[in-house]
Amino acid sequence: MSKYDSLDARSELEQAIASDLDKALRKREWKVRHNGTATTHAPAGKPDIEVFDDQIHINVEVTKSIHSAQDREWLSIKDHFEETKKNNIGKKCFMLFLSPSTHYRTIDSIKDWNFAHQTDPDLRVLPLCFSTFETIVTKFIESTKEQFPKKQLLALFSDFVQFIDDESIFRYIYEELFPTDGQLKGQIERAEDERHELVISELMTGFKQLEQKLRDEMVALAGDAIKNVIYLVFIKLYEEKKEKEEGQRNRFTLKTFGDYQEYVRDKSKAIHKLFDDIKNDKGLRDCGLFTDEDALSDRLKDEFVIDHFIKPFEPFTFYTAKVDGLGAAYEVLGELSKKDRTVGQFFTPENVVRFMVKMADLHQTDVVYDPACGTARFLTNAMQDMESRVKGARNEDAIVSRIRKTQLFGTDDDPTVARLAKMNMYIHGDGKTNIKDEDGLTQLGLDGKIDVVLTNPPLGDLDYWRSIYNDDFRLHRMEVVPRKNLTEARMTEYKKRLRYFEGKLDAPNLTGKKMVNIEKKVQEYTNRIAECGVLIRDAKSEFEITGKQMKGGALFTNAAWHYLKGVRDTSDLPEWKGGKLLIILDEGVLNTDDYKSVREYIRRHFYVKAVVSLTEDTFVPVSHTSTKTSILYAIKKEDPNAVQQEPIFFAHAQKVGINTRRKICANHLFNSGNDILSHYREFEEMIRKSYEGQRFVKSRFIEQNFEKGMIDD
Residue, of 610 and 103, whose pLDDT is higher: 610
At residue 344, does pLDDT exceed 50? no
Cα–Cα distance, 374 to 348 (Å, whole number): 9
pTM metric for this prediction: 0.79
Across the range 309-316, mean pLDDT stands at: 90
* Residues 85-111: tens digit of each pLDDT: 999 989 999 999 999 999 888 988 898
Residue 330 identity = Y
**Exposed, middle or buried, 44 (CB in 10 Å: 0-12/13-18/19+)?**
exposed
At residue 343, does pLDDT exceed 50? no
Residue, of 565 and 156, whose pLDDT is higher: 565
Cα–Cα distance, 277 to 295 (Å, whole number): 12
Cα–Cα distance, 240 to 232 (Å, whole number): 12
pLDDT of residue 123: 95
Across the range 598-617, mean pLDDT stands at: 96
Cα–Cα distance, 120 to 367 (Å, whole number): 44
CA distances from 129 to 12, 59, 103 (A): 17, 16, 10
* Residues 220-232: tens digit of each pLDDT: 887 788 889 889 9
At residue 330, does pLDDT exceed 70? no
Q: What percent of the chain is predicted at pLDDT more than 70?
A: 94
3-state secondary structure 450-467: ECEEEECCCCCEEECCCC
* Residues 60-89: tens digit of each pLDDT: 999 998 887 887 888 888 888 999 999 998
pLDDT of residue 166: 87
Across the range 429-456, mean pLDDT stands at: 92
Element (H, E) at 326: helix 325-336
Q: Which residues of 643-657 are buried (b: 16+ CB within 10 A; e: fewer)?
A: ebbbbebebebebbb
Residue whose C-alpha is closest to residue 166's, from 104, 218, 105, 245 = 104
* Residues 521-542: tens digit of each pLDDT: 989 999 999 999 999 898 888 8
Q: Which residues contact 525 (CB under 8 A, 6 or more apart)?
A: 494, 495, 497, 498, 501
Average pLDDT, the chain: 89
DSSP string of 108-169?
HHHHHHHHHTTTSSS-EEEEEEHHHHHHHHHHHHHS-TTTS-HHHHHHTTT-GGG-SSHHHH
Give the least confident one: 241-255, 354-368, 556-570, 636-650: 241-255
* Residues 288-311: tens digit of each pLDDT: 788 888 999 999 999 999 999 999
At residue 628, does pLDDT exceed 60? yes
Contact status, residue 529 vs residue 490, Cβ threshold 8 Å: no
Is CATH 1.50.10.20 the right assignment for the domain spanning 13-179? no
Name beta bridge partners: 124. Answer: 94
Pairing state between β 56-62 and 629-636: unpaired
pLDDT of residue 713: 62
Taking phi first (over 0 means left), then psi (-120 to 50 degrees means alpha), and beta for anything else, what does residue 512 get? left
Give the least confident one: 27-36, 456-465, 493-502, 623-632: 623-632
pLDDT of residue 687: 97
Residue whose C-alpha is closest to residue 661's, from 626, 627, 603, 620 = 620
Give the least confident one: 12-16, 156-160, 182-186, 251-255: 182-186
State the CB neighbour count (10 A cutoff) for residue 393.
12
Q: What percent of the chain is predicted at pLDDT more than 90?
A: 59
At residue 515, does pLDDT exceed 70? yes
pLDDT of residue 159: 86
Residue whose C-alpha is closest to residue 556's, from 467, 629, 462, 650 = 462
At residue 30, does pLDDT exceed 70? yes
Q: How many residues does the chain have?
A: 713
Q: Which residues contact 573 (CB under 8 A, 6 or more apart)?
A: 688, 691, 694, 696
Pairing state between β 92-99 and 124-129: parallel
Across the range 253-276, mean pLDDT stands at: 94
Q: Measure CA 692 to chain center.
A: 38
Rg for the chain (alpha carbons), in Å?
32
Q: Measure CA 518 to chain center.
A: 72
At residue 677, does pLDDT exceed 60? yes
